[in-house]
Amino acid sequence: MVEKENIVDGVHSHGRDEDWVKPTEPAVLEHLEWFRDQKLGLFMHWGLYSQMGMMESWGLSDEDKDWSYGCWDWDESKECQRQYRKLNRSFNPIRLQPRVWAETAKQCGFRYIILTTKHHDGFCLWDTKQTDYKVTDPSCPFSEHKYSDIIRNLFDAFREENLGIAAYFSKADWHTPHYWAPDRNVGGETSRGANYDPAAEPDRWQKFVDFTQAQMMELVEGYGPLDVLWLDAGWVNPREKEDIRLDLLAAKARSVTPGLLFADRTVGGLYENILTPEHAIPEHPMTSPWESCLVLDDGGWGHSFDHRYKSARTVVHLLIEIVAKGGNLALGVGPQPDGRLAPGAIRILSQMGAWLEKNGEAIYGTRNCAPHAAGKWFFTRKGDIRYAILPLAEGDASHGIFLIPAEPEGGSVHRITMLGHPAEIPFRRTEAGLILQVPVSGTLSVTLPETPFALAFQLE
């Protein structure tokens, strides 16, 4: 029961190499190498919940109330759930400017985006034909806006900036009557799974399978080409008797988009092409394709009114560690209910982008090498070239004598340069490792800028 083991306090935590099954199609394998090159994804949870600055969907499931922390008053939970359902009638992000989102993402160094097309609450950000619980239905004020088909407008804008596209899609849908049947459990407790036994009611379940497959195919055919279909709600899987026939869907979808990747998270098997450890970085490097799903705002995945942002330095350090361990960082940033990316978040992300602008060569398109780290240093490689990266804390010296305590695999180093610095860095080899003499960047007489987030060296 991989699924159960992987759930910590209700959220999926750790993907593992043992869960990964190597795909056989050459187009998929090739696309996975593309994925590994990207390194940095912008993970956006946007939906009805954003309006309230509260946790996405989970308050609708009574079973999950203990951990889906105070998003509302639990004595009034049934009333709150009713009110949540009606948030489609006020969702109106009229300040949305898809091109600005795309340009911002690009400038901050992101190479792909993951966007919620539908979270567990079932509200769809695209013009689906399978339900009217969607942004383009007249019941939603934003339906009159020129960008009302949010997914189309955003995906098109991201593609124009050459960013990869992952469509987050929740397999569970707490709105369709084919999953939470209204004639079942009336007024009773809700839980995350279907509220009937699919084996005992195959016809009902088949309707849900048809509904879900039709929605996924709409996205694949009408909103593609997608790079990744990112499937959440890991409890919807054949082992739990909630089989949505992903095998059939995948064959159809890949005939439209060859090499389409699936992230059927925590399920294992042929359609979990990418592992997605959540709120965690694996302790050791992993060999399978993976992305750590972390949040910029410790308040959660979606927009919150009381931001607790990580600093740009922290995010850059997380990125370095993840990349050195062979993974990608999918960084969660919740767009605002007014349609903008939060200015406070963008300020932080632009600082990250500035670091990447100068040092991205040591990050993008690299693979991990052995050792992946030594002392405070992290290593990456690209072909014969290796990179040694040293995260710096505020106030650390960024010039002077440094020791790289191990030489990463790939032959003995004969030349060292620092990214963003023109001259070769003098060094000597000792028993303790490579000793570098790092000059002050710029002229010696100027005052030093604030400590850079990290120094990156190219080793040849």
Q: Which is nearer to ligand GLC, 167 or 369 (CB)?
A: 167
Which of 84, 208, 211, 301 is close enough to bind ligand GLC by CB under 6 A? 301
Rounded least distance, CB 11 to ligand GLC, Å: 5
Rounded to the nearest 5°, which phi and psi values hold at 455?
Answer: -105, 140
Neighbours of 450 (CB within 10 A): 9
- Binding to ligand GLC by CB under 6 A, coded x per residue (else -) over 37-56, reads --------x----------x
The owner of tokens 């960084």 is 331
The answer to whether 223 touches 152, Cβ cutoff 8 Å, is yes
Measured distance between the N- and C-terminal CA atoms of the chain, rounded to whole angstroms: 46
Rounded least distance, CB 236 to ligand GLC, Å: 12
Q: Which is nearer to ligand GLC, 244 or 436 (CB)?
A: 244
Q: Which of residues 405-424 bind ligand GLC (CB under 6 A)?
A: none
111 lies in the site for ligand GLC, by CB under 6 A: no
- Residues 93 and 303: their CA atoms lie apart, in Å, by 13
Q: Which is nearer to ligand GLC, 71 or 459 (CB)?
A: 71
Rounded to the nearest 5°, which phi and psi values hold at 52?
Answer: -95, -5
The answer to whether 192 touches 223, Cβ cutoff 8 Å, is no
Provide long-range contacts, Cβ within 8 A and 24+ apart, for 293-298.
Answer: 293/43, 293/330, 293/332, 294/318, 294/329, 294/330, 294/331, 294/332, 295/331, 295/332, 295/333, 296/331, 296/332, 296/333, 296/345, 296/348, 296/349, 297/332, 297/333, 297/334, 297/345
**Rounded alpha-carbon distances, angstroms, from residue 382 to 124, 243, 364, 366, 458:** 40, 41, 9, 5, 10
Which of 11, 270, 419, 435 is close enough to bind ligand GLC by CB under 6 A? 11
- Binding to ligand GLC by CB under 6 A, coded x per residue (else -) over 188-227, reads ----------------------------------------
- Residues 49 and 124: their CA atoms lie apart, in Å, by 13
Rounded least distance, CB 237 to ligand GLC, Å: 14
The answer to whether 120 touches 58, Cβ cutoff 8 Å, is yes
Q: Which is nearer to ligand GLC, 67 or 429 (CB)?
A: 67
Rounded least distance, CB 6 to ligand GLC, Å: 10
Rounded least distance, CB 354 to ligand GLC, Å: 27
Closest CB to ligand GLC belongs to which residue? Answer: 293
8-state DSSP, 199: T
12 lies in the site for ligand GLC, by CB under 6 A: yes
Q: Which is nearer to ligand GLC, 11 or 281 (CB)?
A: 11
- Residues 136 and 151: their CA atoms lie apart, in Å, by 11
Q: Which of residues 325-344 bind ligand GLC (CB under 6 A)?
A: none
- Binding to ligand GLC by CB under 6 A, coded x per residue (else -) over 148-187, reads ----------------------------------------
- The amino acid at residue 118 is K
Q: Which is nearer to ligand GLC, 229 or 413 (CB)?
A: 229
The answer to whether 315 touches 296, Cβ cutoff 8 Å, is yes
- Binding to ligand GLC by CB under 6 A, coded x per residue (else -) over 251-290, reads ---------------------------x------------
- The amino acid at residue 396 is D
Q: Which is nearer to ligand GLC, 54 or 341 (CB)?
A: 54
Rounded least distance, CB 266 to ligand GLC, Å: 9
| Closest C-alpha among 220, 213, 226, 228 to residue 272 | 228
Q: Which of residues 85-104 bind ligand GLC (CB under 6 A)?
A: none
Using CB under 6 A, list all residues that contact ligand GLC.
11-12, 45, 56, 232, 278, 293, 301
